[in-house]
Structure 1
Amino acid sequence: MMDPRTSAQDVMRCDLCETAVVQMYCDTCLVNLCKACVGEHVSDDLSKPHKIVDFRDRKSTPLYPSCKTHDKEHCTMYCNQCDIPVCPTCIGSDKHLGHKVSEILKAVDGKKNIIMKEQTELNDTIYPNYQDIASDVQIRMSQLQKEYGDLSTAITKHGEAWHREIDNIVQKLKAEADEMKSSQLQTLQKQLDEINKTMSDIKEEIDSMETVIDTNDLSKLFSVTSNVHTYRNLPHKIIAALSKFIPGKIQGEEISKLFGVLSSSSLTSDKHGYSMKTTQKSPEAGSSPSVKQLLDEPETVTTIDTGYKELYNVACLSDEEIWTSGRDNTMELYSINQGSLLKSITTKLGNKQLNIAVTKSGDLVYTDFDDRTVNIVKNEKIEEVIRLQNWRPKGVCSTSSGDLLVSMDSDYKQTKVVRYSGSTEKQTIQFDDKFKPLYSPSFRFLRNITENRNLDICVSDDTAGAVVVVNQAGKLRFRYTGHTPAPKNKPFYPRGITTDSQSHILTADNNNNCVHIIDQDGQFLRYINCGLIGPYGLCTDTNDNLFVAQWGNKQVKKIKYL
């Protein structure tokens, strides 16, 4: 039989006798009581002002906080200036002299309102944000597990390739040793055969001489002709010089570098990495990049005529000024609003610069293909930053961290991207997870490069007809190979490349006289035409205006597309 005191469906019982049904309640001690136990409860502790109420009116009596300064006093008032509950003795002390004091119950509603607002914010905004962040961290941990698994697999495959190559080398050396052995043994065997034949001849001659010595026939005796003078010339001694195996020196550090090394990894903390998502507009919302929509019809804002015979590149110095370069040895600064030439810089050796960019500090940087250097212009003085050996620089861009990304070719056979901090090489990006080249060898003076807002590295691979995008660690994310139908139905031929505040990737298509806009994941969004003629170089300003350097008419167009 079910115990009536513990049954889930039983009524509440008195906390003292644990038998009778609850009828009363002590609001001071928070105790359930039956009428019979009220007297006993009060008499147990006469020091307290017990407030006995009907059970239905329980918790209606406020429990005033005890004063921390004066024992046995309760705080029935509230000091608004000190923002703390106080007892009557506190009010009369010098500590609160002249302070504005009110009944504590009047301050309760205000305090409850503050708590309720904070509770609502915690429940509706902050906690869901932490849930989203926790989910994001779990996703990134899962991605990290997969990527490090791929990394381990790549190292294993490379090791297997090395083992196969070493096995081939071992087999080749052993075959060469067997061939040497066979040749030397064959020579010695030939000499042995000749010696054995001579020994047989000598034995016959000895027997013949034995017969003649014992004969009485003098004619036979004088007919004997000895070949002993021939046999006195002993055969040459053939000495086999044994081939020796000379092992290459194995030095741990050198062989490790030869096998391959891991680029450095890091964990950084970005305090601006997460932003509070809320349905209400907050003052902090202005610090986050606003979402912009693509215009149905992009607009040409202004056109700037340049003096180049062939215009290739454009780079924004500010929202008012742009640097330009072409197929000669000068780089020119133009006013966007006035369209006038402000400054002209001649390259250090008079070589044609291949690509230009503007650093975070506002300095102009350019690549010198012939001189194998990357140079920076500070106060109109040219300084060499990077000098390459066996490689020639092509594209260059300045990253959000202040590093330089340089695309380069080696005798038109290999292409790679290298990250530099100053003149120090930090990272090399050349192969995918299957050790296949990420970029095609280029026979043209093109290999433009940019960094996206999400830190992806975007390269226009003109030879492959693709935009190649890798993440910050150099892992391939996708290849964009154009969109059909193209405006002129010609193959995709990417030239200049840039990005905007929305992480869009924009690339100039010289064959189709247009600019492709794709999102950060490689999905095609829109073409920009605007009467472009031979678009080459691209850049965007801080307001997401697009600047297009046109090879066809030597003009720079400023286009509004967002």
Structure 2
Amino acid sequence: MAASEPQESETGQHLLGCGFEHCENKCQFYCNPCNRPLCEQCKEVHKNSPDTQSHEVVLYQQLFVEKCKDHPKNDIDSQIHQYFLPTSLELQKETREDASRIKMALEEMRASIMAEADTVKKIVDVIASEKVDRVNKIEESLNENLKEQDKTFDDYISYLHKLVETCHQDVSSTELQNDPKITPESIRPIPETTKPILPVFTTGQYNKDKVANLLGSVNVSSLEPPSRKIRLFGTAFEHSVFAEKKSKEEKGKPDDKQTLSSSVTEVAELKVPNINGGYHMSIDSTSGKIWLSDLVGNLLQIYLERNRVGKFVQFYLKGNRPLGDKFSRGCGYHKVTQSGFLIYTDKDNKVVNRMTLNNKIIEIVRTVDWEPISVHSSYLNGDILVGVKYEEEAKVIRYNKAGQEIQTIQMDSKDEPLYRDPHYITENINGDICTSDYGKQAVVVVDKAGEHRFSYRGKKANFFPWGICVDTFGHILVCDDYNDSVHLLDKNGEFLSYLLTRQHSVKYPRVVCLDVENNLYVGQSGSNTLTIYKYYP
């Protein structure tokens, strides 16, 4: 068949990509012997190649109109090209994209391991230097004491020499015996001095396993890998037709510059009782329990049963009420640790508590004068990250699992404050600390050493970030309350897409949270409905 210029199809056909490697153009032609879709440029290359110049290349849309001449009633060929082949090519493309994602993610993981090792080495160097300085100061102190003792003996010996000179004055020995001026009792006693006690160095108690724990761990999920989604036969092209129609309808509207993502599919809506809006959420990956809180101190422990709320336990944490007329007092105030314990901030008493499995409360961190407004438990090393405020100042403090302060993050390299209201906090797969700062109207990200990496301030003039989380590839998801959307960023703060918008019936989103099965939970202000989406990173 002779190929002609492609005409716009009146039917909604699937927009297949070109089959040539590294070509991202849309398919316009199809080579029947090769079973390969081609764009216009690659078609010319294909036809001019000595190996394929005799191949029959047809318009892609002709595959759906022309049937086999020998069997005009048999439309199997059309069905294969309309559904089975495009769908298979799509899945193959997805497989190759997954391979690229895996390579990228593991390269980042290797870099993170080496960066973690460098950080540990630097810490070891600092500690070793501090200990050497300590030894130097002890040596100086001991030497100073010995010098004072040496001077004491110099003075005493000089005193004795003077006594001897007195004895040798021009006075007869008889006179000295009859009238002694110096007696043993009149001589000053020999000064008492002390021997130095040397410090003792006790070697550290460590082994390979303990050092390995400092560098985090690499774990392979025991979950069954999810099946790839295959479009149902007969509806393979509905999505592309709808998307094309929707795109035309959206042209000229105020939101036509928004990038929409099709990487979420709504799964269920949960009506949660006794809650006044979903403002923060923590998931216990070991048991599947969900902790959901609102803005007035209610905290629910929820057990899901087939995407429905089953049993739930209600708590009321009075230390986490709004204060006066402050609009945000910190909402990301709880997190489940690797061990399955809930930790939460008590702003009134300025502490971070741990709730045991039998609901016993144990204080683990005291922030003294600073009010703790957000908390996160690191899945990399178990550290506790706490966002705190004191009057108009704010900072992030890192504590180890024993509750000892080991890092404070407050200023950037220009000595400007990084934070104003860090009311949500999380940690990325590379160790970056990501905070949603309502006062700064930004997502503020620093590396594990506390160095400022970037601040994301949204795509529009008004950006008020709320809940924040990250996925397994290091993408950052953050709620934009003002624009009724959830933004998707890469690990370097580059905007990728609007993951959710008003078109998904999202209004005043407050919290986003991902579980280990890539279920995305979204809570909204003023609503007791928790929406669950399937998230495809």
The structure with higher relative contact order (CA 8 Å, sep 6+) is: 2
If the length of structure 1 is used for normalisation, what is the TM-score?
0.46
Rg (Cα) greater in structure: 1
TM-score normalized with structure 2 length? 0.48
